[in-house]
Chain A
Amino acid sequence: MTNLTLDRRTLFKSAAALSFANAFPAWAQSGTHGLHPAPGLLSGESIALTVADSHFATGGRSAHAVTINGTVPAPLIRLREGQNVRLSVTNKLKEDTSIHWHGLIVPFEMDGVPGVSFPGIAPGETFTYEFPIRQSGTYWYHSHSGMQEAMGHYGPIVIDPAGADPVQATREHVIVLSDWSPVHPHVQLKRLKQSGGYYNMQRQTLAGLLNGKDQPLKDRIDWGKMRMDPTDISDVTGSTYSFLVNGHGTAENWTGLFTPGERVRLRIINASAMTNFNVRLPGLAMTVVQCDGQHVQPVETDEFQIGIAETYDVIVQPTDAQAYALIAEAIDRSGLVRATLAPQIGMVAAIPPLRARPLLTMKDMGMDMSGMDMGQGGVIDLSQPANDSMAGHSMKMLDPSVAPNVPMGPGVATLSSMPADRTADRPTGLEDVDHRVLTYADLRALEPNEDIRAPTRSIDIHLTANMERYMWSFDGVKLSDGADPIAFRHMERVRVTLINDTMMPHPIHIHGHFFQLLTGEDAAHNPRKHTVNVLPGGKISFDLTADALGDWAFHCHMLMHMHTGMMRVVTVRHAEDAA
């Protein structure tokens, strides 16, 4: 496979992209040599950021954007563990803004969530965040106001460790994945409220049935009876989105340079509003060394799914002087973005075709049949009583007894009757690909967890929805319904189980804390995360030490799920105050 062919059209487009180069911060410009030496980044103890209206264009489309210091993505902030930082944020928008430092352990009043941690930043005002840097790793920052993060208000943070970095690399690139649409996010949300499947252009059709595609007729009838759509993978899709790497679409071909033989560290951040991605570099194995800014024991893989707001640091070692495509594919396969790693700019590798759109299964509906004698030759007939092996298990799609604390109502269309722990499952759409795929169970913390006390309390939180009405909630209650905060005692150790009663993965994020995801019996090495993608119909558990006093946001990082109610305030108080 030689990838040295220079495509005239690509060259032209690269040139065109370069002429707009000042629209990108230096680290995000195509053809960058990487972060050493660091080009045009913001560092030091005093950093000024200005949020303003601007325009953004990609793939021949252009629209209003919200920029920081004039660029999409926003500038790279590079800090060092142990320093203090003062970030003064000036709002030149006509509406409020804010910056949340995603994954940074900061005092709650510096966390940047309007209405929870601070009042927000009014137009014309400057707000100064100030906090010590107590950690290292790859993080990011984004608005927590008015869906601005869907319009460009996001950027990367890299924090170098105070001591030696256990990850050795000769070169590093930041890879910010995002989704961009010229349609304002408020209009997108309106469309989804008007018609839940508005952006799904990959539904099952009669033409498909006649061509033998997708589900056979009997399954279609079964699913139709339940009013469930097995193609409902993503809410907002490639039918409106351009997918971006460092602000570049496929045609603009963001290129990061390397010299053959180098260990190249890719700091991959999913800064999307609504898109989970499958990430791979055909022909290059990736060694995952960090997740959510926390070191993990190096593990080699060929592809991983990155939930919104997660970060993965991987090492690749290209030995040949050829171009490698970096492919980020939307999990519903409605589109992808290609970027390039190459020894010199202008080289391209083949773009693999989009793979077939996955179809959801009964497991994604919380009916895990594995290891059960189904009877009827494995065919699920919901109209029939369960056979003996299913005794004691509800086979209904909405049996209130499986979640007694979830009030039934218009916002809860389904409940997972037999949710499986899916941390060792390959994520949606990657079940059958013929190469290695990372699962959460592959992640083991490099540095042992400090707190491995057994939890003294356990809570379940149901992720609930009605796709037809486009309602999203925790425990069947939207935040706007007057939901109570989720209360913790300071330093309390709690086992939290997230049960996904919907057919969509949800990247769930807690502010101000890292939790330890239960992926194995070795509690000291369960991976620490700030965001966990809970697979459809499944559940995950994590142990949380409530070590950060204050009020914190807890929400699904699908922007429109959060804005339709899938959010809570988490409170952490001294036990004596709480009594």
Chain B
Amino acid sequence: MTRLIAALLLASTATPALAQMDHSQMGAHQTPPAPQAPADPHAGHAMPSTDDSVPQGVAPPIPTDHAAEAFYPAATMARARAAMIKESGGMRFLQLMLDRLEYRAHKGANGYAWEGEGWFGGDINRFAFKTEGEGEVGGPLESAEVQALYSRALNPWFNVEAGVRQDFRPQPQRTYAVVGIEGLAPYWFEVGAQAFLSDKGDAHLRLEGSYDQRITQRLILQPAAEMNMSAQDAPELGIGSGVSDIELGLRLRYEFTREFAPYVGVHWERKLGDTARYARAAGEGTSATSLVMGVRFWF
């Protein structure tokens, strides 16, 4: 307290000298403020302070005018203000990513596969698409799907998504409604779940997860898993009810740049239950282990 009093005394004695040498700092010689304006219904914008030594006080109402309009045309200022506000958090961005584009070497005919996604929009609302598929080298395209989704940020870590999925292969083509959730789980696991309901009434669920283990700044080992489930038999698609298939992968990529990373790895997949029975009946294998090499790139 004595220090405070001393400071006040010091300040008051110093004022004349300061007035001579220093007009600069704080707009000197102004009168103290008028008594506070009465409370206003809009005053709730003031954040209550955690500082107990100072009264919380009452915030003035938010002005409805724009000061610069006293000097510049209102319409010109309105345009500039709209641009400034948009550039302060309202910009939209775009990302296109092929997470996997790979060659799969395994017993019998070798294959290829892709998995990609993209988005366009702001922080909260985005248009998103996903695509994946696989086939035999020199043979038929076995599966190919494209999803078009509206994606909305749910919380800091997860997005909910809804839209349509079109399967171009296998035949017959199917169209599904999609709802899903995806995001970053604790311990840095990328996870996603999507439920599908087809135009024929069959329902499916897909769960995915992956983890990026950084070995060095550029060398990254990514274990990944995917599981598909079905609520019913769909024999025309070769899918049985229950867990239909499981895929596990382990890919080691090297990020020459963040956007361009070739990789090698192994991919294992197995059909289960009735799905496996359908496959055997069609003369296909139920399990395959592949060595994969490919590239991940985005822009």
Measured CB to CB, the nearest residue on chain A to B298 is A194
CA distance A116 to B87 in the complex (A): 13
Q: Chain A, interface size: which category? A: 35 or more
Whether, in the assembled complex, B61 has its beta carbon less than 8 Å from a beta carbon of chain A, the answer is yes
- A425-469 CB contact bits vs B (8 Å, 1 = yes)? 000000000000000000000011111111111111110001011
Please determine whether A523 and B60 come into contact, CB atoms closer than 8 angstroms: no
Q: Is A206's CB within 8 Å of the partner chain B?
A: yes
Q: Which of B25, B37, B54, B215 contacts A455 (CB 8 A)?
A: B54
Contact between B186 and A225, CB atoms less than 8 A apart:
yes
Instruction: Check A495–B49 contact: CB distance below 8 A.
Output: yes
Q: Residues 165-191 of chain B: 1 if any A CB is under 8 Å from the residue's CB, otherwise 0?
A: 000000000000000000010111000
> If A195-B258, A206-B214, A492-B33 touch, does A487 touch B38 (CB 8 Å cutoff)?
no
Whether B68 lies near A108 (C-beta < 8 A) is yes
Q: Could you mark each residue 490-524 of chain A with 1 if its beta carbon is under 8 Å from any beta carbon of chain B, else 0?
A: 11111101010000000000000110000001111
Chain A residues with CB under 8 A of B57: 455-458, 494
B256 contacts partner chain A, Cβ-Cβ < 8 Å: no
Given known contacts A108-B67, A495-B54, A115 and B77 CB-to-CB distance under 8 angstroms: yes
Q: How far is the CA of A472 from the CA of B123 in the complex (A)?
A: 11
Q: Which residues in chain A, 520-563, are within 8 Å of chain B measured between CB atoms?
A: 521-525, 528, 541, 545, 547-551, 555, 562-563
CA A364 – CA B184 in complex, angstroms? 22
Q: Which listed residue (B8, B31, B38, B123) contacts A491, Cβ 8 A?
A: B31
Q: Enumerate A393-443 residues with CB–CB distance to B below 8 Å.
A: 398, 404-405, 408-413
Residue of B nearest to A115 (CB): B84
Q: Is the CB of B67 within 8 A of A410?
A: no
Bound-complex Cα distance A410 to B80 (A): 28
Decide if B26 is an interface residue (CB 8 Å cutoff).
yes
* Contact residue among A115, A191, A448 (Cβ-Cβ distance under 8 Å from B85): A115
Scan residues 74-105 of chain B and give those whose CB is less than 8 A from a CB of chain A: 76-77, 79-91, 93-95
CB <8 Å contact, A458 and B54: yes
Interface string of A85-109 (1 = CB under 8 A from B): 0000000000000000000010011
Q: Which residue of B lies closest to A295 (CB)?
A: B22
Which of B148-156, B199-207, B231-239, B289-297 interfaces with chain A?
B148-156
Residue of B nearest to A206 (CB): B215
Partner-binding segment picked from A316-324, A341-349, A476-484? A476-484
A221 adjacent to chain B (CB < 8 Å) = yes
Bound together, the chains give a CA A226 to CA B188 distance in angstroms of 9
Does A33 sit at the interface, judged by CB under 8 A? no
Closest CB of chain B to A202's CB: distance in Å? Answer: 7
**Does the CB pair A119–B79 fall under 8 Å?**
yes
Are B26 and A469 within 8 A (Cβ)?
A: no
- CB of A203 within 8 A of CB of B8, answer no
Complex Cα distance, B36 from A469, in Å, reads 41
Known: A108-B68, A450-B18, A487-B62. A567 touches B26 (CB 8 A): no
A541 CB contact (under 8 Å) in B23, B51, B88, B258: B51
Residues 3-55 of B at the A interface (beta carbon under 8 Å): 3-4, 6-8, 10-11, 14-15, 18, 20-28, 30-38, 40, 45-51, 54-55
Report yes or no: B11 in contact with A563, Cβ–Cβ below 8 A. no
Q: A115-B80, A456-B55, A487-B59 are in contact. Are A405 and B156 (CB under 8 A)?
A: no
Closest to A552 in B: B67
- Chain A residues with CB under 8 A of B107: none
Q: B58 to chain A: closest CB distance in Å?
A: 7
Task: Give chain B residues whose Cβ lies under 8 Å from the Cβ of A484.
Answer: 45, 62
- Is A356's beta carbon under 8 Å from chain B? no
Interface assignment of B287: CB less than 8 Å from any CB of chain A: no
CA–CA, A178 to B222, complex, Å? 37
Interface string of B248-265 (1 = CB under 8 A from A): 000000000010000000
A452 and B55 alpha carbons, distance in the complex (Å): 16
0 or 1 for each of A117-145: is its CB under 8 Å from B? (1 = yes): 11110000000000000111100000000
Select one of A198, A451, A522, A573 contacting B7, CB under 8 A.
Answer: A522
Check if A521 sits within 8 Å of B72, measured CB to CB: no
Q: Is B51 a contact of A447 with CB atoms below 8 Å?
A: no
Q: Let me know if A481 and B89 touch, CB within 8 A.
A: yes
- Decide if B24 touches A449 in the complex (CB within 8 Å): no
Report Cα–Cα, A294/B25, bound state, in Å: 8
Contact B156 A412 (CB under 8 A): yes
How far is A108 from B59 in the complex, measured between Cα atoms in Å? 22
Tell yes or no: A355 within 8 A of B by CB. Answer: no
- B3 / chain A contacts, CB cutoff of 8 Å: 521-522
Q: Assess the B184–A227 pair: CB atoms within 8 A.
A: yes
Specify which chain B residues have a CB less than 8 angstroms from the CB of A227 in the assembled complex. 157, 184, 186-188
A217 CB-CB contact with B under 8 Å:
no
Task: Flag if A575 contacts B32 (CB, 8 Å).
Answer: no
**CB pair B298 A450 closer than 8 Å:** no
Interface presence of A379 (CB below 8 A): no
Instruction: Say yes or no: A116 contacts B91, CB within 8 Å.
Output: no
If A161-B21, A227-B157, A551-B66 touch, whether A405 touches B95 (CB-CB below 8 Å) is no
Residues of B within 8 A of A261 (CB): none
Q: Are B61 and A578 in contact (CB under 8 A)?
A: yes
The 24 listed contacts between A and B (C-beta, < 8 Å) are: A105-B27, A109-B72, A115-B77, A189-B93, A193-B95, A194-B298, A201-B217, A409-B153, A413-B157, A449-B26, A451-B26, A458-B55, A460-B50, A461-B47, A469-B153, A473-B89, A485-B63, A491-B30, A493-B33, A524-B10, A549-B67, A565-B90, A567-B88, A573-B63
Q: For the complex of A and B, list the 7 residue pairs with the smallest distance between their C-beta atoms, beginning with the closest.
A: A565-B89, A135-B24, A457-B57, A115-B84, A478-B89, A480-B90, A458-B49
A-B contact sample (11 more), CB < 8 A, given A115-B82, A571-B62:
A82-B23, A116-B84, A119-B77, A136-B24, A163-B21, A202-B217, A459-B46, A460-B49, A491-B30, A499-B50, A551-B66
* B residues whose Cβ falls under 8 Å from a Cβ of A: 3-4, 6-8, 10-11, 14-15, 18, 20-28, 30-38, 40, 45-51, 54-63, 66-68, 70-73, 76-77, 79-91, 93-95, 123-124, 153-157, 184, 186-188, 213-217, 258, 298
